[in-house]
Amino acid sequence: MHLFPRLALLGTLLLTTIPLQAQVSFYGTDDFNDNSFAPGRWSSFGTTNGGLWTETNGRLEFTADATATAITTANRAQQFRVWSSTTSGNPSYTDSWSATMSFTIDKTAVATNGASVLGFENFMAGSASGYYGIYLQYATSGGRIYAEQGVFNGSGYTRTTLGSTGSLDNTFDGTDVLLQMNYNASTQAFTSAFSFDAGNTYYTFGTWTGAGHFGGPATGNTSAWAVTPTTGFGLEVYGALYGDGVTPGSTFLSGQAYADNLTVSAIPEPSTYAAFAGLGALGLAFWRRRQKAAAAA
């Protein structure tokens, strides 16, 4: 075997080795085609008023039966599904990563005087200090995408919209919309993005540094990251059916609101790319020298 192929093989092994340790805990994919939640991977909480995420029909479907309940902001049909992780080494905090998932809401299923929201959120594992999320929303007046932060204020959450596609729009198509969340470990900043064309084009809501978020007023620090996550971040899928607080909510049936194809992957740091670029250049130099020596012989 020539030296260049050997170095190329070494580079390939290193590239595949870097994420493997983290893939065991935080990184991975789920296409939901097995119609069964992976053991030890998905957990749930916050289930109220008939809201339910179910892995069925080769996707993750959100159903809700709130026809007998006057749904309010605090009393809604909802459920969280957490992409569980073993946080050894805290790769979700120490690594840069990207999470992408597709979401669909059938706008004809949205109740009169009601609204529905699907999306996913990032939160500090083991803490209720706050969250950061990107969502697909539908109401009777139309649909949109928005990003939001929620800061724990001691008794509830103070929510702030960080960006959106604008007002609710009746022409908005909420079919197979890709929502994405990115984390830069070097800057400790998040960005959220969305795509209407299967990921060919992404639109970004901008950078969020988490000031006053992970920690929040309850810790007495509203201007910085009050707590360094000791157990990493958590990632959860959220589904909810809202109402006007007077009219009973509607029903989401199978196939009317769902998510699919979750991917959580590491983003190599620029220094990693530089190291492998240098390795490749070294291998190429050795190969050229060997070729010249062989030609002169």
Q: Tell me the average confidence (pLDDT) per consecutive run of 10 residues in the chain, 297 residues long.
A: 30 31 64 87 80 94 76 68 65 87 89 76 69 89 90 75 90 95 86 94 81 47 50 83 65 89 86 48 57 61
Please give the structure tokens belonging to residue 287: 């190969």
Q: Which amino acid, residue 176?
A: D
What angle is formed at CA 51 by the lines to CA 46 and CA 60, rounded to 5 degrees? 100
Instruction: Give the model's pLDDT for residue 65.
Output: 75
Please give the structure tokens belonging to residue 113: 């005087």
Please give the structure tokens belonging to residue 282: 């070294």
Q: Give the whole-angstrom CA distance, residue 257 versus residue 251.
A: 11
Instruction: Give the model's pLDDT for residue 201.
Output: 96
Q: Give the whole-angstrom CA distance, residue 51 versus residue 64.
A: 4
What angle is formed at CA 29 by the lines to CA 21 and CA 235, rounded to 5 degrees? 80
Q: Give the whole-angstrom CA distance, residue 144 versus residue 146.
A: 7
